[in-house]
Amino acid sequence: MPKVLMPIGDATEVLDTMYPYFRLPEDGFEVVVAGPDARLYHMVQHERPPGWDITQETPGYHLEATVAFRDVNPDEFAGLFISGGRAPEYLRYDRHLLDITRHFFAAQKPVASVCHGVEIIAAADVIRGRTLTTVAKCALDATFSGATYVDQPTVVDGNLVTARTWHDNTPFMKQFVRMLNAYVAGGAGR
């Protein structure tokens, strides 16, 4: 079964994470959750209450990372799924995760990034010259890193598919699964 790597940390957004966590196995992909350490992480829910200009964060479910970033062999994976939430704010400083991310882009393997996940791919310096989407409040992360930001539900640019928030999960995951299947059908990711 081809594997997809899912990096998380404390404050990873619940719906950004749990939808693909359960959706990818439906198409025959094993999801491997990684974190700064192999341990249980606390996810959060982000929702913009009526009248608010920004999201409110509330506690969510927990998810266990079975491997630490430093122990990941990216050659074993067909794809990379980067969730949002506040976790990318500090995960983007993990040199092991940045090296892993660069591997997926150098190898042209499918990469999905939603919401604040752009902070990781921006920090890895792999989005220059690309067009992508993300949550509007992270548009500067994209443009400061040399990408073109567009406000669309889902954008595909080469091996990268991006979405704004979990509200775009359906078209986002359809594109990512299509990319993974094409990658595996081409003889890679096995």
Whether 116 sits among the annotated catalytic residues: the reply is: yes
- Determine which one of 46, 96, 116, 167 is catalytic: 116
Strand partners, 59: 44
d(CA 114, CA 170): 12
The tokens for 141 are 């992360």
What is the DSSP pairing of strand 160-163 with strand 154-157? antiparallel
Query: CA geometry: angle at 6 spanning 10 and 84, to 5°?
Result: 50
Q: 83 and 13 in contact (C-beta within 8 Å)?
A: yes
78 secondary structure, DSSP code: S
The tally of CA atoms less than 13 A away on the side-chain side of residue 154 is 16
Query: CA geometry: angle at 71 spanning 69 and 73, to 5°?
Result: 95
3-state secondary structure of 188: coil
Place of tokens 């990268």: 160
Residues designated catalytic: 116
